[in-house]
A and B are shown apart, each in its own frame.
Chain A
Amino acid sequence: MRDELYGEILLDHYRYPRHFGALPNPSVRVEGKNPLCGDEFLIDLNMEGEVVREIRFSGRGCAISMASASMMTELVTGKSVPEVKEWIDRFRNFLRDGGAPPEGVDMGDLQALAGVAHLPVRVKCAILAWTTLEEGINQCKNGLSPAALQGPARDSGV
């Protein structure tokens, strides 16, 4: 049976999460929790200067939070800190704006999470990995501007 929210792409990421696991010697390890849901993630980053060289995530969560985390790891691998921050903002706005992609931007697999934007109570599931990553890159001082260091980390919501 097909469901408009729980589509093929979302369920594929849920069942076969990409970059799932831990890094042996991460430059940053950060934990994100949503005590309301019982969702918890651990995100490991290996930074090379300003660039996310490797990312792994582990933990447990609902289909939406797992799929979102998995998609995020695919997207940010090889991206610079400013680019990652741009995507974090973009994804927040995407959820806030009812799942409409910004003009001229291909959201890729993330488009599969558009339906979540209409479910306010589930938005926090989709955003958990992203706020955790945000905290991680804020912790990693390499190449970060002072302004970015002051930015909000967890529970910033959408």
Chain B
Amino acid sequence: MSLMDTVIKADRAMSKAEKLREDFPILKTTVRGKPLVYLDNAATSQRPSQVLAAYCFFCQSHNANVHRGIHSLGEQATDRYEAARRKVATFIGAPSEKTVVFTRGTTESINLVAYGYARKFLKPGDAVMLTQMEHHANLVPWQIVATTMGASLRFWPMTPEGTLDMSAASDLLQPPVKIVALTHVSNVLGTINPVQEIARRAHAIGAKVLVDGAQAVPHMRVNVADIGCDFYAFSGHKMCGPTGIGALWGREELLEEMDPFMTGGEMIREVWLDHATWNELPYKFEPGTPPIAEAVSMGAAVDYLNHIGMDWIQEHDRQLVTHAMNQLLAEDGVKIFGPQDGRGALVSFNVEGVHPHDLATLLDRDGIAVRAGHHCAQPLMRWLGVPATVRASFYIYNLPEEIDQLLEGIRRAKEVFAYAR
């Protein structure tokens, strides 16, 4: 491809992003009198009018409890709830919709596997293998379960760049490792992990693989069958959907073997005074009244992303992150964490002499929303040797100009902090 072609392609891609911005009412708001520059998408993404309308429409026209009543409204609500499940299942390449369990989000999805699977099948002396770049949500549940079951934790070694060391892991990825749980895309380093290869290697020693896809599903084409993992967890609110809804995909035979994590109504088949039997998949794992309108809206978010096209989204993200990396690398006093290439749509960094929280406060005064802190990854902060970092994370509606504004904000912060010198 010639340079001109690249430029034209980039140009066209960006104008699409500008058009997409019209779908997001919140992007028209101002912060401290400045137009909002929202670069905290890894924490939560914004919601387009289409998703908001789907939520509203469901509440206005179809709201009823699901899988219960005989009445028409109940049937309509159930239809829409199950249609959303089909959309989500197709979106991640799940072979069957009954292998998709609606949860409150990635955290609950991981806990479901930790409590429902690991607590049933881990034995004393077994090991769970994790990485040092895990979000607390994919670390703490395993600490608890491993302690309860008398199992141990081990951690996949990392290269100084912040990628998984694939050769150094050979000695560790061995029996008695029974479960490998890792993130698809690091929420701090941006590292995209080779989950397909890891699943293959884990299966070779008979271990099961859970992938935390919270930072992957919104940004790239994910196909759980291609990855070959056993469980895949993700959230609705990072992919233009609402909070309080997410999903767990699991291999059917494993979901069948698992115990329910929470019990109550809906998840049962028959109940006696002293015992009960479980409902079929996926309802076995959906006790109580689920977040119905949220699930329907997550389905609408899937429609929205499909309409835009995951290939376009992936390319758009790549262009934004490349632009951000180039700018930040060229900026004096900026230290970037994580790999230079092959990263997700986020950059964590620190500015010399400016604490991440001070930088975030100063950027906020320019209307720029970034995350500063430990990003729910305290062990990774220790590995990096910093108390916290600043993170800028991008999505479909972000523009290169916003990254330029971020850089201007960083320069202003540097000036403020050099003032007293």
Contacts and interface: CB of A to CB of B under 8 A. Distances in A.
Interface string B372-402: 0110001001000011100000000000000
A66 B387 CA distance: 14
A2 B413 CA distance: 10
A2 B416 contact: yes
Given A2-B419, A6-B417, A8-B419, A36 B361 contact: no
Contact of B387 (A2, A38, A64): A38
Given A63-B417, A125-B357, A39 B387 contact: yes
B361 to A, nearest CB: 6
A60 to B, nearest CB: 6
Nearest to A2: B419
A40 B388 CA distance: 12
Contacts of A14: 420
B86 interface: no
B355 A61 contact: yes
Interface size for chain B: under 10, 10 to 19, 20 to 34, or 35 or more residues?
20 to 34
Interface in A1-22: 1-3, 5-6, 8, 11-12, 14-15
A8 B421 CA distance: 10
Q: Is the interface of B mostly helix, strand, loop or mixed?
A: helix
Contacts of A36: 373-374
A35 B378 contact: yes
Contacts, number: 59
A119 interface: yes
A109 to B, nearest CB: 13
A15 B381 contact: no
Contact of A3 (B356, B357, B362, B386): B362
Given A37-B387, A38-B387, A12 B420 contact: yes
A144 interface: no
A65 to B, nearest CB: 8
B410 to A, nearest CB: 12
Given A1-B412, A1-B419, A8-B420, A62 B374 contact: no
B358 interface: yes
B270 interface: no
A38 B417 contact: no
A69 to B, nearest CB: 13
